[in-house]
Copies of this chain bind each other. A is one copy, B any other.
Amino acid sequence: MADSLAELQGALDTFVEERNWAQFHTPKNLAMGVAIEAAEIMEHFLWCTGDESYSLPKEKHAEVASEIADVLMYLLGLGRALDIDIIAAARDKLAVNGEKYPVEKAKGRSTKYVDLD
């Protein structure tokens, strides 16, 4: 896996700066952007079953990758705007989830997982 989020972040910063778009990139708008693009990912899975969702046609697979990219870019932008290190935040949350869903209780049970918020 390509591993450097910091490099991507740098490229994004340049992109936004060159276009003078920071003025539009308030946290509020970036949060909307994340949600809009998340829905565009989802659109590709609306009518298929869970099983079918693993085997997307090649073209659809590429479109999903492109929407995932959009979500990640808005997410990075939001992290930047609010000074949140998104990888560190995920590590912290994973630790919290580990305590919330201990292996012995959560194993094979989606019902516990449902309460995740």
What's the Cα separation between A36 and B43 when bound, in Å? 6
Q: Could you give, for residues 1-41 of chain A, a 1 whenever the CB lies within 8 Å of some chain B CB and a 0 otherwise?
A: 11111101101100100111101101111011111101111
Contact B53 A27 (CB under 8 A): yes
Is B40 a contact partner of A117 (Cβ separation < 8 A)?
yes
How many copies altogether?
Answer: 4
Complex Cα gap A75–B77 (Å): 16
Q: Contact check: which of B26, B33, B41, B90 meets A54 at CB < 8 Å?
A: B26
The A contact surface, by secondary structure, is helix
Binding site for B on A (CB under 8 A): 1-6, 8-9, 11-12, 15, 18-21, 23-24, 26-29, 31-36, 38-54, 56, 61, 64-66, 68-73, 75-76, 78-79, 81-82, 84-94, 96-98, 101, 103, 106-108, 110-111, 113-114, 116-117
